[in-house]
Amino acid sequence: MKRATKVSIGLCFILTFIAACGEKLPKAPLEKTTLQLKWQHQSQFAGFYLAQEEGYYTAENLAVEFIEGGPGIDPAQVVGTGQADFGVVAPEDVLIKQSEGQDVTAIATIYQHSAVVFATLENSGIIRPKDFKGKTIAALGDGSMRDFELRLRVLLRKTGLDMTMIQLVPYDPDYKGFYDGKVDVTPAYLSGGVAKMRRKGCKLNLIWPDDYGIHFYSDVLIVSRKLLEEHSDRVVRFVRASLQGWRAAVSDPDKAVQVTMKYARIRNPDLQTDMMQALIPLVHTGEAQIGWMTAEAWQHMYDIMENQGLLSAPLPELTKVYSTRFLETIYGAKGQ
Amino acid sequence: MRLFGKLFIIFLLFAVGPAMGLGWLAFINGRDFITRQATNHLVSTNLLKIAEFERWLDNNAANLEILAEFLDLQGGLAAAVPVHDMQDPQHQAYHQKITEKFLQPFMNQSGFFELFIMRAADGVILLSTDPRHEGKYRENRRFFQKGKTATFIENVYYSMALQEPAMTIATPVKDQKGDTIAVLAGRLNLKDLSEIISRSSGLISSENTYLVNKFKFFITEPKFGQGFALKKSVFTQGVIMALQHFEGTGFYADYRGIPVIGAYKWIPAWELCIITEIDQAEALAPIYLLRKKLLMIGTAIISICLAAGWILARMFIRPIRKLMEATRGMGQGRLSFKTDIFSRDEIGDLARAFENMAERLEATLVSRTDLQKEVVERKQIEAKLVRTLDELKRSNQDLQQFAYTASHDLQEPLRMISSYSQLLAERYQDRLDDKAHKYIHYAVDGAVRMQALINDLLAYARVNARTKDFSAVDSQAVLGTALGNLRAAIQESGALVTNDELPMVMADAVQLTQVFQNLIGNSIKYRGKNPPRIHISAQQEGQNQCFSVADNGIGMDMQYKDKVFAVFQRLHTREEYPGTGIGLALCKRIVERHGGEIWFESEQGRGATFYFTLRGVEGLNADINLGEQNREGKLSIETH
């Protein structure tokens, strides 16, 4: 009895000692990594902010730096040239960059549906793509705004129209022409411009390309092929923490907005809340796990891009364009 | 701990222990029963809700199928399908006919809030009860793809068109030939579903049933919270268990963080979890009530036990405490007391025995006190005596000193008187007549006598003043010295002095010589007509030696037995027998100084025997021998 007590006390000491040592062992330094955002700081990226602020990245031993996007910045280019490890871009960009020979790969999609809509004033009578004929549309752009123009081209072709039948003018993120009536149709993000315009008091008709057989992801997470192959462990950790952040954002939009306000350029919490409310259904559809991608969806996007002749060279296979193995690692093979 | 505390705690334990044990048992039993009842209720609620959910879906699906059949029977749709140009008046006519005659009335009496018909070929919406959606394509939607072949119920998803979660049922519409020409779809109002699922019996206000999809998002609105469907995810223990396809119940915190009892079940057909929860606070309220009651009863019991224990402990302790106080009193000397304990039990006996003991102790102590008092008194007297003695000694010494000084200082003027008187007689012998010579003779004689008196007085005073310590003295040798000193008188009187063997005594040899000399001298002086015969002997009387000096002199009356020993007291005139009258006084003083006594026996004309006692050396022999040896030792050392 006595002996047993002594032995157990001894064990306790040893275990405590080991535990103490374990605590004192210096943690490996955080791995630095960078995320190139598609646009300026706003609710659109709330999940990433949450992952940062709630310590999900730190828990995965990552120190993430956000690089803001904006006019004139091509995020896919930044990632493709290795200036950033990860990026948030439009899926079209991934396909285009791949066809141009730049190796960036989509590893998750933040938005299951495209957030791109074409907005018209409610009393304009423009409620379907067919109504675009002869109208002034502010969809001309490049860099991160290129998807507006691309989407318009596809939508027009799908409707039986072409670019010659409309008046194409440059996209204006401030929508001045639209408010003044000089522009009839403007593309916008459901989670961005639409919220802004509605805040201004505009009553809008929204024409969603998805309703017309054009199914695109929006805001996909990309990584350079190099990082993907050489540091796939870091990629898994980054994706896992980011998606955890997005799940938290969907679960608690108020908090997501609160955290976003630390970053947001437009310091209007009501606007950011509107954006947040708009993007939640795009992120979480109820049909799949957050971030989940399917081969069919990518094939569909590729087919559209290919058919429209928007790719400089056809891609014989899409394995380089996207990779679901990280999602499968995180969620299991079936994404459940 | 004090005995009182111990007793008190023991009483308390005996009383409270069983009460608490029973209370605990009752509580546990009650809790188990109530918990079992609650979980049973939750599990059955889940089963009922699943049944209701499926019936709701089946009813709606069946109704939709009937409508599809009906559309087909009318045959109108088949003609409309290929046209699809919203500007075409013919289409508009069909549109109006079908929506107004079929879709709208049906919708009004069903659970659908939107009905629409898609062309089988490309999924375009031909017509809808909500015209805004007409012309849109649904070719990639599962309800369209699956609905082309058979009735399909699409699980809850977020509808972008509706901007809210939706469930859609789709069923094929076939033409006369049996080919699918279109798909009829209806969107179900999820508010109805939420209502069905969350509707509770009302008996338990916190009862909360909801569905959660496999992505852990709410499908129906739970009772507490709005706008949760597909917007809030839930990670409670119940959901996690259900997603692992377990069925059961548990105690955990729900999505609000409130502790609940929950029943969870996985519905494989719909890949949904059904969760029914009730707040633990409400479910366990009866238990809490029971616990409260038990606690109250327990508290009451404990209070009573406290009081009873206190009283009992006091009852036991009070006599003991009294005894203790009595004991303490005894310690402080209070022996007469009553403990006031009259009980007939052991403590009573103890108290009485104790009282007895105290009584007897008191008696003993009283006699002791008396003795002590006497001792004290005696000591006081003794001290007084010692004091008196000291005073006496001091005054005596003073007196002696005075006498000595006086007699010594008196001699000088006296010598001058006698010297100058004699000088006067010699120098003026011729010029003085006989009468003058006679007067001078008287003066000288007086001076000489006074000198003798003073000398004697000085000797008397010296007995105590200039003394040596006593030592062992051979009285035989001392007698020899005395007789030597008296040789002239003996020869002149023709006295015969005899003696027995005399012992060793403790004495001052010089003084003892004086005693013998005085006594023998007196015997010679007061002789009768016959030559004096004097015998000296000694006899041991205990530790003392009793010397006797017997003569055949004139003797004296025993009435003077005291007077003869007084200073300057004489029985005869100076003319009859010369002397100062100090001899016997001196003897007495010397003997008394030696601790002895002196007396005489005599008859007028028949001689006298003087006795005196001195301390013998028998008891001190050993000491003396030892002393002599030492002296010899010393001598031998000096010789060396």
Beta bridge partners of A33: A64
User: Which residues make Cβ contacts (< 8 Å) with residue A16, sequence separation at least 6?
Assistant: none
Structure tokens of B65? 């199928």
Note whether B610 and B488 are same-domain residues: yes
**What pLDDT was estimated at residue B629?**
42
**What is the distance between the alpha carbons of residues A34 and A48, in angstroms, rounded to a whole number?**
12
B290 in Cβ contact with B30 (< 8 Å): yes
B222 and chain A in contact, CB less than 8 A: no
Note whether B560 and B437 are same-domain residues: no
Which residues of chain A make contact with B140, given a CB cutoff of 8 A?
213, 215, 300
**Amino acid occupying residue B542:** G
Instruction: Return the residue matching tokens 């004489």.
Output: B570
Residue B560 phi, psi (nearest 5)? -95, 20
Measured in angstroms, the CA of B123 and the nearest CA of chain A are apart by: 9
Residue-level pLDDT, tens digit, chain A, 336 residues: 445 455 555 554 554 544 444 444 445 688 899 999 988 898 889 999 999 999 999 999 999 999 998 888 888 888 888 889 999 998 888 998 888 888 889 999 999 888 889 999 988 888 888 889 899 999 887 765 677 888 888 888 888 888 888 988 998 888 999 998 899 999 998 877 888 888 888 888 889 888 888 888 988 999 988 888 888 889 999 999 999 999 888 888 888 888 998 888 888 888 888 888 888 888 887 778 889 999 989 999 898 888 878 788 888 888 888 988 888 888 887 665
**What pLDDT was estimated at residue B380?**
93
B135 and chain A in contact, CB less than 8 A: yes
- Higher confidence at residue B625 or residue B14? B14
Using pLDDT thresholds of 50, 70 and 90, give the confidence band for residue B81: low
Note whether B510 and B424 are same-domain residues: no
**What pLDDT was estimated at residue A244?**
92
- Higher confidence at residue B550 or residue B189? B550
Note whether B406 and B514 are same-domain residues: no
Note whether B391 and B435 are same-domain residues: yes
Among A298-302, B140-144, B571-575, B583-587, the range of highest mean pLDDT: A298-302
| Beta strands at B259-267 and B164-174: parallel, antiparallel or unpaired | unpaired
Among B218, B231, B270, B273, the strongest candidate for a mutation testing the A interface, having the largest count of A CBs within 10 A, is B231
**What is the distance between the alpha carbons of residues A88 and A133, in angstroms, rounded to a whole number?**
33
Note whether B422 and B485 are same-domain residues: no
**What pLDDT was estimated at residue B75?**
55
B157 and chain A in contact, CB less than 8 A: yes
Number of domains in chain B: 2
**What is the distance between the alpha carbons of residues A193 and A196, in angstroms, rounded to a whole number?**
5
Residue B636 has pLDDT above 60, yes or no: no
B232 and chain A in contact, CB less than 8 A: yes
What residues of chain A, 174 to 213, have a C-beta less than 8 Å from chain B?
A: 208, 210-213
**What is the distance between the alpha carbons of residues B231 and A252, in angstroms, rounded to a whole number?**
8
**What pLDDT was estimated at residue A221?**
93
Containing structural domain, residue B547: 468-623
Query: Residue B27 falls within a domain, yes or no?
Result: no
Query: Residue B180 falls within a domain, yes or no?
Result: no
- Domain A31-113+216-331: CATH class, spelled out: alpha beta
Q: What is the ipTM of this complex?
A: 0.71
Q: Domain spans of chain A?
A: 31-113+216-331, 116-212
Architecture of the CATH domain A116-212: 3-Layer(aba) Sandwich (3.40)
Asked whether the beta carbons of residue A286 and residue B217 sit closer than 8 angstroms, the reply is yes
Note whether B487 and B438 are same-domain residues: no
Query: Residue B290 falls within a domain, yes or no?
Result: no
Q: Can you tell me the mean pLDDT for B598-620? A: 84
Asked whether the beta carbons of residue B136 and residue A280 sit closer than 8 angstroms, the reply is no
Asked whether the beta carbons of residue B215 and residue A213 sit closer than 8 angstroms, the reply is no
Query: Residue B201 falls within a domain, yes or no?
Result: no
What are B483-504's pLDDT values in tens digits? 888 888 888 888 889 988 888 8
Determine the length of chain B.
640
* CATH code where residue B512 lies: 3.30.565.10
Strand locations in B203-293, DSSP E? 208-213, 248-253, 259-267, 272-279
Query: Residue B93 falls within a domain, yes or no?
Result: no
Q: Which of B466, B486, B520 is the last residue of a domain?
A: B466
Do A116-212 and A31-113+216-331 fall under one CATH topology? yes
Among B14-18, B202-206, B214-218, B606-610, the range of highest mean pLDDT: B606-610
Note whether B433 and B550 are same-domain residues: no
Note whether B544 and B564 are same-domain residues: yes
Note whether B448 and B523 are same-domain residues: no
User: Which residues make Cβ contacts (< 8 Å) with residue B451, sequence separation at least 6?
Assistant: B411, B414, B415, B418
**What pLDDT was estimated at residue B313?**
79
Q: Which of B449, B466, B483 is the last residue of a domain?
A: B466
**What is the distance between the alpha carbons of residues B211 and B204, in angstroms, rounded to a whole number?**
19
**What is the distance between the alpha carbons of residues B42 and B34, in angstroms, rounded to a whole number?**
12
Q: Which of B433, B466, B499 is the last residue of a domain?
A: B466
Strand locations in B515-557, DSSP E? 533-541, 544-550
Structure tokens of B543? 């530790």
Note whether B604 and B514 are same-domain residues: yes
